[in-house]
Chain A
Amino acid sequence: MGGRERLLLLALMAPAAIVFAAFFLLPLARLFVIGGTGPTGWSAYLAIVTDARYFRSLVSTVLLSASVTAATLVISGIAGVFLERNRFRGRALVTAMLTLPLAFPGVVIGFMVIMLAGRQGLIPEITDALFNERLVFAYSMAGLFMGYVYFSIPRTILTVMASAEKLDPRLEEAARSLGARPWRVVADVIVPGLKPAFISAGAICFATAMGAFGTAFTLATRINVLPMVIYTEFTLQANLVMASALSFVLGAITWAALALARSFAGSSVAAAG
């Protein structure tokens, strides 16, 4: 590559780099600094574990995200492998419908949860007809759980299907030729084969559930998850310092979850090479 060529490449990279540095890296650094300028100084960053209120919301956010991740992986794993492994009429339509809500915004998903489990929702209607009791859970942690699962399914199914497509069907045939019954094939071949996909999709699922905001905002501002706490600190309490510190910590957690998963998934992808 000649020197001129190198300069041209640099020039092509420059706009993205400048925008990114000016509007992301610099503000993030500023956010970090502001988080330490409150009356308690840098210990604001420890408040997330020392302050019982923040710590409780951190714990419940982590628990919620972990259970959303587990549920999404199981659901998408079954449906995704099924869709990849079987050819039947209407398969394309089912796949399209399962992936349609990809990129629905969180607010809209919150509304979908209200449609299903809200005061005038479908599930209360059904439980009313069956058990004479209206089961309304949209405006609680359970509703949020449902919304995050809804949000994560399309993307996870896509990842699982892409990964299942690359699974060598001969591996399953080999396991069967050695006498493995279907459930053993699932445990010994399919799940290990999909592990990298599960790790990366699971990490994204976890990270989005940690940082998601729109769904909670639609359902109820009372739900005690970290993003809601940050929003309340910022708007209602006007506590910019605490909001900054908390959101920086939240960002660090989600980024770390993704980075960790990438290193795991990366190494196991290489091992499967």
Chain B
Amino acid sequence: MTRRRHSGWFWAQLAFTLLVCAFLIVPVGMSMLAGVTKNYFIGIQSGVTLEWVVKVWTDYRHTIFLSIKIALACLACTLLIGVPAAYVLARTQNAFTRTIEELLVMPIAVPGLATALALIVTYGTFGGFRRSWLFILVGHVLFTLPFMVRSVLAVLSSIDLRTLEEGARSLGASFSQRFFGIVLPNCRSGIVAGSLMVVTLSLGEFNMTLLLHTPLTQTLPVGLADTYASLRLEVGSAYTLIFFVIIIPLLIALQWASTPRAAQRPPSDDADFDVRSPPQPAQPSHRAAPAHVRS
């Protein structure tokens, strides 16, 4: 790192970065503002109102509740089946488990549209199932499961699981004592990050849900698309505002959960400003949780 005073080069890069920042954040602010503006065409001087938010709440709150219900159910499912799977994958490293690991990520690689169509052509004829919210849940579980598995797996691969477990065994711990007493507590950070990711993604999932839903099982993003397409801008904005109010705290929590905190780093034996070695990443990269989402 050069310690010279900031050069013109620095300011140019900073300006560029801030421009990118504005590109991402300005429309978010605009839409939140539009959601509480009386008439967006005139502008904010037309007055501030909660009229649109109330309208959205009355017309669309069932979509919000359904989305939260699905997200929580999806979280429960991915925890129940994903965490044990991640543990097995971390424990047994061979060609077979590597293939499973690859396969599990496929629902992210394959477009949601294709997955949804595949589900419809296979299970669409089971009327009761097709019409229930569980049909959407299945799609969400498929899509979010890889995030839970890889998030937990990343943490499990970064600790010396084998030695920890052998240590516990030498002390007489049974399998379940080890799993609940050693494994789960040690991958807590991965579970937290994975859970936040699963809930966030499930709440925003649209690609599959658009095909999987029925008029009676409309979720939040489907409702959003509906208002964008057919209603005035202020209503769409108000709806988006509600969505942001739900999703932004989750995203901030996600950033917080995935930032390695200084206190978690072991103290250095060699507190030496002479040796400025590059900072070590908190987790090995080859299995970092995929920050891979689709629109």
**Interface of A with B (CB < 8 Å)?**
5, 8-10, 12-13, 15-17, 19-20, 23-28, 30-31, 34, 75, 78-79, 82-83, 85-88, 94, 96-116, 120, 122, 147-148, 150-151, 153-155, 158-159, 162-163, 165-170, 182, 204, 207-208, 210-215, 217-218, 227, 230-231, 234, 240, 243-244, 247-248, 250-251, 254-255, 258-259, 269
- Which residues of B209-268 have CB atoms within 8 Å of chain A's CB atoms? 210-211, 221, 224-225, 228-229, 233, 236-237, 240, 243, 247-248, 251-252, 254-255
Among candidates A34, A85, A87, A259, residue contacting B121 with C-beta atoms closer than 8 Å = A34
Bound CA span A107–B229, Å = 11
Report B158 CB to chain A, min CB distance, Å. Answer: 14
Contact between chains at B25 and A100 (CB < 8 Å): yes
Contacts of A231 in B (CB 8 A): 113, 210-211
Contact between chains at A151 and B285 (CB < 8 Å): no
Contact between chains at B88 and A12 (CB < 8 Å): yes
Q: Give the residue among B91, B142, B285 with the most A Cβ atoms within 10 A.
A: B285
Instruction: Give the residue name and chain of the A residue nearest to B9 (CB).
Output: A182
Report A201 CB to chain B, min CB distance, Å. Answer: 9
Contacts of B291 in A (CB 8 A): 102, 155, 158-159
Contact between chains at B118 and A155 (CB < 8 Å): no
How many chain B residues touch A (CB < 8 A): the figure is 95
A-B contact pairs, 11 of them (CB 8 A): A15-B81, A16-B81, A19-B142, A20-B103, A20-B142, A23-B119, A103-B201, A103-B254, A166-B278, A244-B121, A250-B111
Report A13 CB to chain B, min CB distance, Å. Answer: 4
Bound CA span A104–B233, Å = 19
Bound CA span A142–B284, Å = 38
Indicate whether B171 reaches chain A with its CB closer than 8 angstroms. no
Contact between chains at A106 and B111 (CB < 8 Å): no
Indicate whether B292 reaches chain A with its CB closer than 8 angstroms. yes
**Interface of B with A (CB < 8 Å)?**
1, 6, 9-10, 13-14, 16-18, 20-21, 23-28, 30-31, 34, 40-41, 77, 80-82, 84-85, 87-89, 91-92, 100, 103-104, 106-107, 109-115, 117-119, 121-123, 138, 141-142, 145, 149, 175, 197, 200-201, 204-207, 210-211, 221, 224-225, 228-229, 233, 236-237, 240, 243, 247-248, 251-252, 254-255, 276, 278-279, 281, 285-286, 288, 290-295
Q: Give the residue among A5, A17, A247 with the most B Cβ atoms within 10 A.
A: A247
Q: Chain B at the A interface: mostly helix, strand, loop or mixed?
A: helix
Contact between chains at A162 and B288 (CB < 8 Å): yes
Contact between chains at B113 and A98 (CB < 8 Å): no
Instruction: Give the residue name and chain of the B residue nearest to A176 (CB).
Output: B2
| Known contacts A30-B122, A166-B278, A255-B110; is-contact A108 B204 (Cβ 8 Å) | yes
Contact between chains at B100 and A108 (CB < 8 Å): no
Instruction: Give the residue name and chain of the B residue nearest to A248 (CB).
Output: B114
Number of A-B contacts (CB under 8 A): 280
Contacts of B113 in A (CB 8 A): 211, 213, 227, 230-231, 247, 250
Instruction: Give the residue name and chain of the B residue nearest to A116 (CB).
Output: B27
Among candidates A83, A109, A182, residue contacting B295 with C-beta atoms closer than 8 Å = A109
Bound CA span A212–B28, Å = 20
Contact between chains at A214 and B225 (CB < 8 Å): yes
Contact between chains at A27 and B240 (CB < 8 Å): no
Contact between chains at A166 and B281 (CB < 8 Å): yes
Report B286 CB to chain A, min CB distance, Å. Answer: 8
Among candidates A97, A104, A254, A258, residue contacting B204 with C-beta atoms closer than 8 Å = A104
Bound CA span A217–B81, Å = 33
Contacts of A217 in B (CB 8 A): 206, 210, 225
| Known contacts A108-B224, A165-B281; is-contact A94 B293 (Cβ 8 Å) | no
Instruction: Give the residue name and chain of the A residue nearest to B13 (CB).
Output: A82
Instruction: Give the residue name and chain of the B residue nearest to A215 (CB).
Output: B295
Contacts of A170 in B (CB 8 A): 278
| Known contacts A120-B40, A166-B281, A240-B121; is-contact A212 B30 (Cβ 8 Å) | no
Contact between chains at A105 and B21 (CB < 8 Å): no
Report B74 CB to chain A, min CB distance, Å. Answer: 12
Contacts of A26 in B (CB 8 A): 122
Bound CA span A60–B135, Å = 33
Instruction: Give the residue name and chain of the B residue nearest to A95 (CB).
Output: B255
Contacts of A5 in B (CB 8 A): 175
Q: A79-B17, A100-B24, A105-B206 are in contact. List 15 more A-B contacts (CB 8 A).
A: A8-B175, A19-B145, A23-B119, A94-B21, A104-B295, A111-B236, A112-B27, A112-B31, A169-B278, A212-B111, A212-B294, A214-B295, A244-B118, A247-B113, A248-B114
Report A258 CB to chain B, min CB distance, Å. Answer: 5
Bound CA span A159–B258, Å = 13
Contact between chains at B115 and A213 (CB < 8 Å): no
| Known contacts A115-B30, A153-B20, A162-B288; is-contact A211 B81 (Cβ 8 Å) | no
